[in-house]
Amino acid sequence: MRGRSADPNEDPFSSISFLKDSDSEFLQGVGSLLSKPEEPMGFSLYSRWIPEKPDHGKWYLNLSYQVTDWFRFGVDYRPLTDDVSILANVRVFPENDSWRPALIVGTSNDDFGDINSDSYYATFSKHLFEVGGTNVSLYGGATFIEELDEVRPVGGLHLRRDAWSAMFMYSGVDEHVSISRQFGNHTLTFLMFDLELPGIAYGFAF
């Protein structure tokens, strides 16, 4: 192995340094490529593939930018149907170390059952506790689904341990579960839409 010594208590795959430290020149090159940029500039790319969904939900992409600490803005694109929409969210206030949760309001386009719709939401989120090295958080709120012309409750449970995370969420229509693994600026996710339709997702911060 090359480079710095590994900390025995550190997850060696929480970044892509295991590639850069490899004895293989090819893997070192792949690691150097995947580690760029060393300091992300605030952009996020997210792509989701669920092969058993209708075309509007089968392949989904979004690109967003963290304009300020409290405001994110971006564009959603569905390549198979050429649908384009806006995503935006505002952190009205952050959570604190006592009882107060964070409040997020925003708009996005998503799938609710077989319906593709813009929605407008407000959610509270709060880190609750850590147990055995796993951080446990909850969020809950409401969303207005334009195509249904209804306000629905939303919520979820988020677990994080080192580079692994899992989420159970209710969108107002469906329940979903996801398991994610972070590799530096890259995140790979396995998900079950409506607890029935398997899919994968990839996120990249740059």
Q: Where are the alpha helices (DSSP H) in the chain?
A: 17-20, 25-34, 55-58
What CATH number has the domain bearing residue 69? Answer: 2.40.160.40
13-71 pLDDT per residue, tens? 456 777 777 778 777 777 777 777 878 899 999 999 999 999 999 999 999 999 999 99
Per-residue pLDDT, averaged over 10-15, amounts to 48
The pTM assigned to this predicted structure is 0.85
The pLDDT of residue 2: 28
- Residues comprising the chain, all counted: 206
Do 31 and 117 sit in the same domain of this protein? no
Domains: count for the chain: 2
Q: What's the confidence (pLDDT) of residue 188?
A: 97
Q: What is the helix (H) or strand (E) element at residue 159, kind and residue range?
A: strand 150-161
pLDDT band at 118 (very low <50, low <70, confident <90, very high): very high
Where in the sequence is the domain holding 201, given as residue range(s)? 41-205
Share of the chain above pLDDT 70, in %: 93
1 lies in the same domain as 58: no
The span from the CA of 92 to the CA of 115, in Å, is 29
Same-domain check for residues 182 and 93:
yes
Do 28 and 50 sit in the same domain of this protein? Answer: no
pLDDT mean across residues, the chain: 90
